[in-house]
Chain A
Amino acid sequence: KAGVTQTPRYLIKTRGQQVTLSCSPISGHRSVSWYQQTPGQGLQFLFEYFSETQRNKGNFPGRFSGRQFSNSRSEMNVSTLELGDSALYLCASSLPSGKNEQFFGPGTRLTVL
């Protein structure tokens, strides 16, 4: 069974631009969560989607948004990029129950110049 895949793996943008990241969960997993990881802050929860609906949301500004499609694939969008948005963005999928193990993708390394 294929693991969680994320595209692109690396991305360089400039301040003010917007970016869209994609995540394909493990087949059969309907819950997709997004995280931001920076050296100073560690892993921080962005949001979780289940059945095309946002189920949980972390404490990030509205510039960060996401969506989930009927095939459980998810996208994350960041608008008006700031230097501080440079980070590794990780996607994790799991079965619907929150008690189930999350499987992480390799991440997308975003650099904002």
Chain B
Amino acid sequence: KNQVEQSPQSLIILEGKNCTLQCNYTVSPFSNLRWYKQDTGRGPVSLTIMTFSENTKSNGRYTATLDADTKQSSLHITASQLSDSASYICVVSAHNNDMRFGAGTRLTVKP
């Protein structure tokens, strides 16, 4: 069964600290993996997209990694800011365009 599992479910960190969010998937055959940031009450915004051959991609303070062998991805946030408080959603697509969404990690950055 194609699934996407994210951990932790929620996370609280202090402003300026780093954090790493995890995404494990069983989607097959794998096409691509996306990380989205969703502010409360708003639509998700794409942060990164990675295909099978890519194992890291950065977008400012956000760095995503992908290990297609172990079917794991992580999103690392460096020097967190209050505006990073949001839900982060991992989305994995199969070759037939079947998209599977993780439940998200709720990140709270405190001053």
Contacts and interface: CB of A to CB of B under 8 A. Distances in A.
Interface in B47-99: 49, 89, 91, 93, 97, 99
Contacts of B104: 42-43
A20 interface: no
Given A42-B103, A99-B31, A104 B45 contact: yes
Contacts of A4: 43
A43 B38 CA distance: 11
A106 B41 CA distance: 7
B29 to A, nearest CB: 13
A104 B91 CA distance: 13
A99 B32 contact: yes
Q: Interface residue tally of chain B, by bracket?
A: 20 to 34
A42 B102 contact: yes
| Main DSSP-derived SS at the A contact region | strand
Interface in A78-101: 88, 90, 92, 98-99, 101
Instruction: Select the residue from B36, B44, B49 with max chain A CB neighbours within 10 A.
Output: B44
Of the candidates A42, A56, A109, the one having the most CB atoms from chain B within 10 angstroms of its own CB is A42
Contact of A109 (B36, B41, B89, B91): B41
A65 interface: no
26 contacts: A4-B43, A42-B89, A42-B101, A42-B102, A42-B104, A43-B89, A43-B91, A43-B101, A43-B104, A44-B101, A88-B41, A90-B44, A92-B43, A98-B31, A98-B93, A98-B97, A99-B31, A99-B97, A101-B49, A102-B46, A103-B46, A104-B36, A104-B45, A105-B43, A107-B42, A109-B41
